[in-house]
A and B are shown apart, each in its own frame.
Chain A
Amino acid sequence: MSKGIISPLINYMTENEMICDATSPVSYYQKTAQIDFTTAGGALPTSLAINKPYYFKPDNTLDHQNGDIKAIEVVSPSVQNTFENGISNLSSDDVFGNVLLYLVDGNDNILVQTPLTSLLGISYGGYALKLYRTKLSNVIWQKCYIEILDTTLISAGEGIKFKVYYDKKDRK
């Protein structure tokens, strides 16, 4: 098989993990994390509120000492409209534009700030799902949170589910 020509720039950016082949494997492991908008109390605000952090539950497999986060995807209502605990997904993909995700490290620095619309997997050419690929090796999961910018079209009893692709530190 003949080798293709690789530009020095592509080579540089690939070696420095700024880009990767969209069809390459994402990670060894994947798990889900969910935030519900409920009035049931717990660590969450008791009602839907704007500009307030909704923190993820602690999960030390995603913390920096145990895992590297390789990609994050938000689950579209067209993929799953009701979650395992009976909570409904948001009503449509458009509503994800009302919510921001923050990923935070151990020094409380915000590493990633992005609207959830960027986390929707987009299929391309029928064979590759373009994901929000990351190289994050210093995240503290329980410090990560989402923020609602506008509660329009979001209701109590709904939730947001993320697929988190990760590698364990001892298996790269």
Chain B
Amino acid sequence: MNNLVIKRSQLVEFPITGTPTTLRRYKARTIPNLSRNNIILYGLECYTEDQLAQTPSGEAVIDTADANQVTLTLMDTDKEQFIYNCPIISLIRANVGGFVTVFKPRLINLQDCFIQLTDATGIDPNENVVFNFYYQLVGE
């Protein structure tokens, strides 16, 4: 039974801009220090309003009841989708015995990562899906 060890962590927001639409791709808000293609991602956690009241920029976080309507796709710097349409509900720590999801370390390409809604019912415009990216820098 292994536990994640955090070297660096950063909240990443995926805003659902405009009218929520099924299968539309919603990309992450740009974060300068995660946009240099030198980020090795090895752990991930998702938050809904139960774990995070608001985003750091003061916007709403998605309702817990709507978490089963969202999937996440992560892409690495080789443009490979190494996490593909993962339901975010399985990335919420409270749903998986308190474990943080760990995967093979990858160089992340944040600007190509996205979430999709499999059902837009009940999701309000400008809600955010928020993840905590656990990572290290190349060479650390």
Contact = CB atoms under 8 A, between A and B. Distances in A.
Contacts of A10: 2
SS of B interface (majority): strand
Contacts of B53: 97-98, 149-150, 152
Interface in A123-147: 124, 128, 130-136, 147
Contacts of B50: 94, 97, 117
A23 interface: yes
Interface of A: 9-10, 13-14, 16-23, 50-51, 94, 97-98, 100, 109-115, 117-118, 122, 124, 128, 130-136, 147, 149-150, 152
Interface residues of B, number: 34
Nearest to A69: B6
Which of B43, B52, B102 has the most chain A CB within a 10 Å cutoff?
B52
Contact of A20 (B5, B33, B97): B5
Nearest to A112: B9
21 contacts: A13-B102, A18-B7, A18-B105, A19-B3, A20-B5, A22-B1, A22-B3, A98-B53, A100-B11, A100-B56, A112-B9, A113-B10, A114-B9, A115-B51, A124-B97, A128-B1, A133-B6, A135-B5, A136-B7, A149-B54, A150-B53
Contacts of A17: 5, 7
Contacts of A132: 6
Interface string B79-99: 000000000000001000111
B5 to A, nearest CB: 5
A18 B2 CA distance: 10
Given A13-B105, A114-B132, A97 B51 contact: yes
Which of A17, A111, A113 has the most chain B CB within a 10 Å cutoff?
A113
Interface string B90-130: 00010001110010110000000000000000000000000
B76 interface: no
Given A130-B3, A130-B98, A149 B11 contact: no
A23 to B, nearest CB: 7
Contacts of A98: 53-54
A133 B56 contact: no
Pairs of residues from A and B, 6 with the lowest C-beta to C-beta distance, nearest first: A122-B98, A22-B3, A117-B51, A19-B2, A149-B54, A98-B53
